[in-house]
Chains A and B, each alone.
Chain A
Amino acid sequence: MNSGALANLGGVALLALPGLGLAELFPALSRLSFPRRIGYAYLLGVVAVGGTLFAASHLFGAPLHRPAIVAAAGVPAAWGLAARVVWRRRRSGGSPPRLVLTPARPTHRWRLLAALAVTGIGLICLGPLIAAVSTPLTDWDGRMTWTPLAAYLHHAGTVDAPVLQDVRWWVMHPRYPPLLPLAQVAVQETFGAGVDDQDFRALYVGILVALLLIIQDGARRAAGSVAAILATLCACLPPFLLYGEGGATSAYSDLALAGFYGGALVLLLLAQPGLSTWLAAGCLLAGAVLTKNEGTPLAVVALLLAAARLLRRLRRRDAGARAATPLGWLAAAAGPVLAAAALLASWRTAIPNRDDEDYFAGLHLGDLLRGAFTRLPVIVPEILRWTFRWSHWLGFWVIVFAVLIVGRRALRRPFVRRLLLAALAPAAIGWAAYAVSANLGDIVRETWPRFLLQGLAPSSIVFACALGQMLRRLSRRTEPRSVQPYGT
């Protein structure tokens, strides 16, 4: 594993470079400073490489070998580089204007505190990185579902691997979305990994860092710099996020789903709306759809919340004449989601399902509603137990709830309410699954912390808003210092 440390870091670069290239094509991202852009870029890189391999292999029969991977990673990277060069020439040597959201000039003391916090977050994230590149994979779902899927696709050289398509082979969850396994394949194939070399491990640590950068960016847009850095620091500390079954040292897809969902929410609900911004958000939501089964309902929730934001904007302005443009934005966000859902559905048609819980197969709405209420006495204690479990969260959710109570005035703002709904969406999916699953205790234990993780970005941004409110109360200031997000 030690010799694979460089290959692991190379794997991160393999995904980050095309993502940075793609980010150059979206003005909403290219105008951000590098630390704020790289989180989105990395996730876009995962979508670009994994999604391109998926489409090329399934639709055109392209083998999952180096030429296809080089093309999937190289084209967006080169494209973005060319766009940057052209942009610089047009601006006669100047770089694209950077987006400045905090008008107040940071004080020396604040800069020092921010530097300390960023160093601290870096030191915390170093732990999972070291663990990932120096020890073999030992988690449950990573070895049961996600990495075996990657190994089968890699060995067959196609996403339509025969082992998936014959019911006699033992494959757990053969119809699970394959984006992260394909990203694994890209890294393993590019660096010629041997049978026990797990060069894909740092890929997941990269996703953790991207998620934290997105939380920081979203919280900064919503609540200002001080609350943002504190919220990010709080969010990076729970051990579940770092070392748990679903965290950065595992090969679960929940962390990636949290990143895609969170990144799209920031762009849809907090950034200045526009075609390129919402297209970028749509690409991230497409990543969510191709990452986990929950990705599709979460993408729908994100789009509905974005539509609610648009409706509010339209009501405030002279709506009639301008309705066409927001509809175009919405279409830009929904287009990649629909394309991803169609690709996934097409791929699944040849794969018979087996060894899968499939909670919602043959489910009636009546059963769901009845179960959701009659099982409350069992579900609620289990959920509370796993929400406040010390070994997983170290009291993170206690602090979140306490701050939300004290800073509840922040929840009056419409964009905070939309983010709160977005944060509750993964929990609602979990609740629905618990309402119909047979083995409730086990399923809550195994999945609830991961549902909390999936909603971590919007939860943390709402937390930052309440924290900002609380800090203002402490400092006796009544007027919010943070910048109101665009058009909320």
Chain B
Amino acid sequence: MLAVYRHDLHKLRGRSHLDATETLAGQRVNESVPHGADRDAALLSRPGGHPEQTVPAHNSPFRLSLGTGAQVIDAVGIDALGDAVQEFVTIQDAATAHRAWLNSAVAAAMNESLYYPYTSLKYHVLLTAALLDAYRDGAAFSDLWLALDDPEDGLTPHRTVLHTDRVSLRLTPNPGDRPAAPLGDTPARSFADVWTRLPARPAGIDPDGDRRWRILDAQLRRIRAWSTALQYLEDCLSAGTVETDTDRTPIDGGWSDAI
């Protein structure tokens, strides 16, 4: 499982897969992920087939925020990228790597593909890891559910794909008594569909109790790409509210050549 958390480290360094190095600090990185988990996770957030540049003004590895339109790296700082790569590559335990990705702000500053700058590298890697772990246990994609966990119950190694003090989401073939909705027969940009089918809303963002969470719930019903939606959810939770655009220019496609 450690390899899955290292398979996209080249993207944290702003490199394409072809330009990627095979080792970093003596550790093997950028290995292909078994069981097609990387491909399936990609299909959760991007269309299949030949990619098209969706934001021509932003041909860049830096993620654009869905809420503010800004490129997130400006707040994180370019210098943090090298430190994050160094941290990820020195972790020798897969469960520790999972926690590090769940908590990483730096991985959230990068997109999973230059062509789709609103996607999030962080959630692509976490979704890939959850799929791989489930496939290794014999589950097929069509067996999987998105389950709502109680954040106080802690996280499940590799399977928890988003974890905050208000919301904890997990992919699993056995949701048990947790509220859950099936992911469907094949991987697709289906976040909005699965979210609207959940039999409950997370208690930490109960829309009945707070207009902020109603706005957030309404926005999540509009987003199809999984990594984009999970990242938007995390960003709103850390802001404590739905992110607002103050200058009325939510999306500014300024290409930065900092890497």
Q: Are A and B co-members of a single complex?
A: no
Chain A residues packing against B (C-beta within 8 Å): none
Chain B residues packing against A (C-beta within 8 Å): none
